Structure 1
Amino acid sequence: MAFHPFDVSVPFVLLLALVVRLLSLPLLRRAQGAFRARSSAMVAGTGAGTAGPLPGAVVAELAACAVFGALLVALLTEIPGIGLGLRMPAAFADLSGLQREMHLRNGAAQLELWLVAAPALALWLLLGHLARRRLLTVGMPAAVAEDGRLRRGGLVRFWLLAVLGVAVLPVGVVLAGVAFQAVALVSARRLPALTGPAAVIVFPPRPEPVPAAAPTAPATAPTAPATAPTAPATAPASATPVPPPAPPGPAAVRVPHQPLHGHEPRGIGGYRLLGRIGAGGMGTVYLAQREGAATQVALKTINLDLLDDPDLLRRFRREAEVLAMVPGAYTARVLDTGVDAGRPFLAMELLDGRPLDAHLRELGPLRAPEALRALALALAVALSGVHRLGLVHRDLKPANVMLTSAGPRLLDFGIAALVDGTRLTATGAGPGTLTYMAPEQFGDEPVGTAADVWAWACCVVCAAHGSSPFAATSTGGVIRRIVDTGPEPSALAAVRALDPALAAVVTRALTPDPSDRPTDGAALLALLTDAPQEDVRAEITRGWSTLRR
């Protein structure tokens, strides 16, 4: 049996490429993370888009691949008769050397070359497509994979690689590309979920005035047994145009939503899904309606690819029961919980508006002192109800504060906190978001309700200043500010310029020693005001009417 150079050269090239790719794996993962962040930011409207410059990590990865390809071409060219230095079509290849080495007749050398090259090219293109698809789907907002610009970019990339593989690149480089793409596919499956502002792409509604008749809708009354603040609503006894402090029922809220994709369910747990409000790397929020009922809800559920984690499901079910007890005063009410075919869900009150971080990006910091104080009071009221149950939110930040037409709402006790590892927990466990974390969260000390008070102060400062008082250019810089140098003076000055009395409470809430801060939401509220509960709600309503939308 004749000896074929392909018998040795194919495994040699594959092994060489695999070793090089594994050695450069950190570069690959950085490039993949940068590509995901850029794609998500582009879809969310916060990035430069396809016309913007490529991230440095992506450029470095492309340059490294080009250098390796050039070196491999030089190596294959120097090895006589290896065959893999030839390009695929006969018109571009001198096959005489291959014929002599393999003792093949006319035409047989070309056939032998294609038997290696054609499957290699097909596999290279397939693995590249799957790796790119994984990058845009696993742990990413659903809207990213459906974006038309990214799809067109993927098609252009596919055909460019096909042309290069057929007409330009030697067979050995294509084989090396197979090894590179196989590693990239495995790496894409293991990337962590995207976090930060680009991690959840929600299509926010345009703020609309709430109809005066909405608070009287009788259909919402049976769904609000735990909303004490809504009971003394003044709308029935007052003709003032200011909306009541508690938001209208879900049936009165109109929230923009996207059509369901073909692979998405049409119903979960007895709820008919009407559309998709938004999606994150780990969960999706649907506009839903209970079968036989008129009330619409926001139904949150975990993505299907996370259902294999029994601990995640167990914690979700346990915490869903606890969340149903959280008071409805300036929080989103949990109306129903359950599991459908192994998939847990939460049916929550449907809210209009947008998160505080989105408001700050689009309109800048709050400029009305009354609106800033209303935000601070509402969050303090919400924390007092949460802390009364012996719970710590652990992830209070602008992304978890919804600015609705009826007032601020503290959100993300459920899916977003759970899947990011910052779930609502009993005192003494769980991480948070770095720039809103209290000093005790970096050590071994027990973490209690005072950590939420610290995060409350950070959110108030962020609302007035535009960013956290502990924001810095690096992780180390953030931690140094939190545990050592203290908050940015200009950030505190922004609060002081709007409301000196509120700034004094914020400063105390940012005391490094937890024992020197207000102990919980109730103590915080007592520092802010000594007015009766009804007067506090009225002040929040008046102040909120000054918010620029």
Structure 2
Amino acid sequence: MPHPGLAVDQPIASLLAAESTNWSSEFGELAVDLSLVVLLALVVRLLSLPLLRRAQQATRERAALSASGAPRASGAPRAAAGPVVAEVVACVVFAAGLEAAMSAIRNYGFELLRSPVAFADTEGMAMELDLNSDDVMVRALVIGAALLALWLLFAHLSRRALLTSGMPPAVAADDRVRRQGLLRLGLFAVVGALVLPMGVLLAGAVFQAVALLSARRLPAPAESAGTTAVLPHPAHPAPAPATAPATAYVPAPAPAFAPVRVPHQPLNGHEPRRIGGYLLLGRIGAGGMGTVYLARREGAATEVALKTINLELLDDPDLLRRFQRESEVLAMVPGAYTARVLDTGVDAGRPFLAMELLDGRPLDAHLRELGPVRSAEALRALALALAVALSGVHRLGLVHRDLKPANIMLTSAGPRLLDFGIAALVDGTRLTMTGAGPGTLTYMAPEQFGEERVGTAADVWAWACCVVCAAHGASPFAATSTGGVIRRIVDTGPEPSALAAVHALDPALAAVVTRALTPDPAARPADGSALLALLTDAPQEDLRAEITRGWNTLRL
């Protein structure tokens, strides 16, 4: 006689087995349906990629204009909204078509995917599939929440990449742009949870993933609509740009975002409010010699960096001569990856220098905060841009003599070489006192420690040190003491691990760097032009494109 319990246990076991079989079948259908939605969304997104890229470029231009805070110049084109509207319409049409297709196919997978996260018809699905309604509800919520989170994550990442890759930091940091991004993300979350079917959320995640990859490869906008040029003061016209030889490298105009927003402090009560026709808006920085102000020409919108000597030092003729020398040198240097001088003059006996306001930060600050450059393309772009800058400097008969990471500004438009305050004409007299050689110790060439004449080869040496520092994080001649640094420079040579860091990223660049660190100045590339010839033989347009392409791989 059979055991009394078997008559009950066998049907229960049969039911559990049947339910398990049902779930296996339904989840198999769900996996297939998810794959079909992903494949269809990917195909449609790739076919509409040109429309997406136009919409992204228009969004960048509008964000840059919003961040500038400047009125649109008369006659300047507006940032087009048409591509953005077309992209939104295309996404709505695709979502409607996808929902219609899912409604036409009756199975567990599409039954789930055509329901919103918060209003999934779990009762109907449970009855149709002969399953427990609570189990269906839990699984629907888990799947829906995962798809919604995936869509929101990719939407956030794609917008962040759109506003940071190849864009000035001021754009992503702008409060209005941030608020717009948060509002957009909140709207996505509400609509995604309450309105959109789960299948549309999955397709949206695919769309946003493709948008993320596209945003990282977009070039910076060609121009911003709100830009106004700084007008020279009638009493102090801006110096005429130096005429370069026909072979000089002339880069494309950098994208103009006005005004660039840089950190600054409010003015003190004793500080002036106007200098030479410029309104002082704040203090960017100050040193023992002078102060740099954030300023704007009266009647103009573009902001500038205005540098002037501190009042207590105006009676020092040596400092006045040095400041005047810096103004002259900067006015002569071409604008190829160097900071441009916009205006110079003297106001009530106080000399001033107005320069373009650069976004970004110095290379040394970048290395402290983010570490060494890990992109081979970005490192080569930095090396090429600095070589281009030096070739323009040296062609004018100038030697920088203080090339170091603190004097290299990393901007959205590329590196910029700064601070020519101690530069001297190659055939002129030294401005510093005998025995007080200019420069920073770990970037000084061996000849700067002796009595021999310092020429353009010393800048080539410093260029190599800066490239190594960018890849390694420190100068190849860094040591724990001054004596140790000097011994490395004149005797033992650079740190092998520092050179290895460059070689690991770009062996060809490492070979040029090694040659530029030859102790004998005559064995190094003679100047910036010779250095550039060793690095590349590309035409000007190709060189400019290579620098821009490589620079866009660097996270600023």
Same fold (TM over 0.5): yes
1:273-312 equivalences in 2 (<5 Å): 273-312=280-319
Amino acid at match of 1:494: A
User: What is the SS of the residue equivalent to 1:278?
Assistant: strand
Shift of 1:253: 2.1
- Partner residue, 2:229: 220
Shift of 1:311: 2.3
Distance 1:264 1:347 in 2: 17
- Partner residue, 1:426: 425
Shift of 1:280: 2.3
**Number of residue pairs aligned between Structure 1 and Structure 2:** 323
Bigger drift between 275-284 and 314-323 goes to 314-323
Distance 1:328 1:468 in 2: 27
Sort the Cα spacing of 1:520 and 1:213 in 2 relative to 1 into closer, same or farther, 3 A: closer
Amino acid at match of 1:220: A
Distance 2:536 2:228 in 1: 34
Shift of 1:322: 3.1
Distance 1:295 1:332 in 2: 16
Find 1:332's aligned residue among 316, 320, 339: 339
Shift of 1:315: 3.3
Find 2:450's aligned residue among 443, 451, 461: 443
Shift of 1:321: 2.4
- Partner residue, 2:459: 452
1:368-447 equivalences in 2 (<5 Å): 368-413=375-420, 417=421, 423-427=422-426, 429=430, 430=432, 431-447=438-454
Shift of 1:249: 3.5
Q: Tell me if 1:479 matches 2:479.
A: no
Distance 2:231 2:170 in 1: 27
Distance 1:535 1:222 in 2: 33
Distance 1:405 1:268 in 2: 29
Amino acid at match of 1:528: L
Sort the Cα spacing of 1:355 and 1:218 in 2 relative to 1 into closer, same or farther, 3 A: closer
User: What is the SS of the residue equivalent to 2:262?
Assistant: coil
Is the contact between residue 308 and residue 353 of structure 2 (CA under 8 Å) also seen in structure 1?
Answer: yes
- Partner residue, 1:94: none
Distance 1:220 1:249 in 2: 10
Shift of 1:333: 0.3
User: What is the SS of the residue equivalent to 1:503?
Assistant: helix
Distance 1:495 1:331 in 2: 24
Amino acid at match of 1:219: T
Sort the Cα spacing of 1:301 and 1:359 in 2 relative to 1 into closer, same or farther, 3 A: same
Distance 2:171 2:378 in 1: 18
Shift of 1:258: 1.7
Sort the Cα spacing of 1:246 and 1:460 in 2 relative to 1 into closer, same or farther, 3 A: farther
Amino acid at match of 1:426: L
Encode CA deviations 1:218-248: one digit per residue, 9 max, x unaligned.
633988974999xxxxxxxxxxxxxx95433
Is the contact between residue 230 and residue 297 of structure 2 (CA under 8 Å) also seen in structure 1?
Answer: no
Sort the Cα spacing of 1:521 and 1:365 in 2 relative to 1 into closer, same or farther, 3 A: same
Shift of 1:534: 1.4
Bigger drift between 327-336 and 299-308 goes to 299-308
Encode CA deviations 1:77-117: one digit per residue, 9 max, x unaligned.
xxxxxxxxxxxxxxxxxxxxxxxxxxxxxxxxxxxxxxxxx
User: What is the SS of the residue equivalent to 1:297?
Assistant: strand
Distance 1:283 1:259 in 2: 17
Distance 2:377 2:264 in 1: 32
Distance 2:229 2:291 in 1: 24
Of structures 1 and 2, the larger Rg is shown by 2
Distance 1:216 1:245 in 2: 18
Is the contact between residue 169 and residue 412 of structure 2 (CA under 8 Å) also seen in structure 1?
Answer: no
Shift of 1:257: 1.9
Distance 1:220 1:529 in 2: 34
Is the contact between residue 231 and residue 297 of structure 2 (CA under 8 Å) also seen in structure 1?
Answer: no
Find 1:500's aligned residue among 496, 503, 507: 507
Amino acid at match of 1:359: H
Sort the Cα spacing of 1:211 and 1:463 in 2 relative to 1 into closer, same or farther, 3 A: closer
User: What is the SS of the residue equivalent to 1:324?
Assistant: helix
Is the contact between residue 385 and residue 414 of structure 2 (CA under 8 Å) also seen in structure 1?
Answer: yes
Shift of 1:251: 2.5
- Partner residue, 1:351: 358
Shift of 1:254: 2.2
Distance 2:461 2:537 in 1: 21
Q: Tell me if 1:514 matches 2:521.
A: yes
Is the contact between residue 214 and residue 252 of structure 1 (CA under 8 Å) also seen in structure 2?
Answer: no
1:237-256 equivalences in 2 (<5 Å): 246-249=253-256, 251-256=258-263
Shift of 1:295: 2.0
Amino acid at match of 1:353: G
- Partner residue, 1:46: none
Encode CA deviations 1:160-216: one digit per residue, 9 max, x unaligned.
xxxxxxxxxxxxxxxxxxxxxxxxxxxxxxxxxxxxxxxxxxxxx956469726356
Find 1:535's aligned residue among 531, 537, 542: 542
Distance 2:537 2:230 in 1: 30
Is the contact between residue 247 and residue 406 of structure 1 (CA under 8 Å) also seen in structure 2?
Answer: yes
Distance 1:482 1:473 in 2: 14
- Partner residue, 1:30: none
Encode CA deviations 1:421-442: one digit per residue, 9 max, x unaligned.
xx11112635211000000000
Shift of 1:250: 6.3
1:65-104 equivalences in 2 (<5 Å): none
- Partner residue, 2:374: 367
Is the contact between residue 336 and residue 388 of structure 2 (CA under 8 Å) also seen in structure 1?
Answer: yes
Which runs of 5 or more residues in structure 2 are unaligned? Answer: 1-167, 173-218, 233-237, 245-250, 433-437
Amino acid at match of 2:424: T
Encode CA deviations 1:277-299: one digit per residue, 9 max, x unaligned.
22223221111111222221100
- Partner residue, 1:78: none
Encode CA deviations 1:418-464: one digit per residue, 9 max, x unaligned.
xxxxx111126352110000000000111000000000000000000
RMSD of Structure 2 on Structure 1 (CA): 2.4
Distance 2:406 2:550 in 1: 21
Encode CA deviations 1:15-45: one digit per residue, 9 max, x unaligned.
xxxxxxxxxxxxxxxxxxxxxxxxxxxxxxx
Distance 1:227 1:276 in 2: 30
- Partner residue, 2:328: 321
Encode CA deviations 1:500-545: one digit per residue, 9 max, x unaligned.
0000000000000000000000000000000011111110100000
Distance 1:214 1:251 in 2: 10
The alignment's TM-score, normalised by the length of structure 1, stands at 0.56
Distance 1:307 1:380 in 2: 36
Shift of 1:411: 0.5
Amino acid at match of 1:297: V
Which runs of 5 or more residues in structure 1 are unaligned? Answer: 1-204, 230-243, 418-422
Bigger drift between 532-541 and 448-457 goes to 532-541
Sort the Cα spacing of 1:249 and 1:226 in 2 relative to 1 into closer, same or farther, 3 A: farther
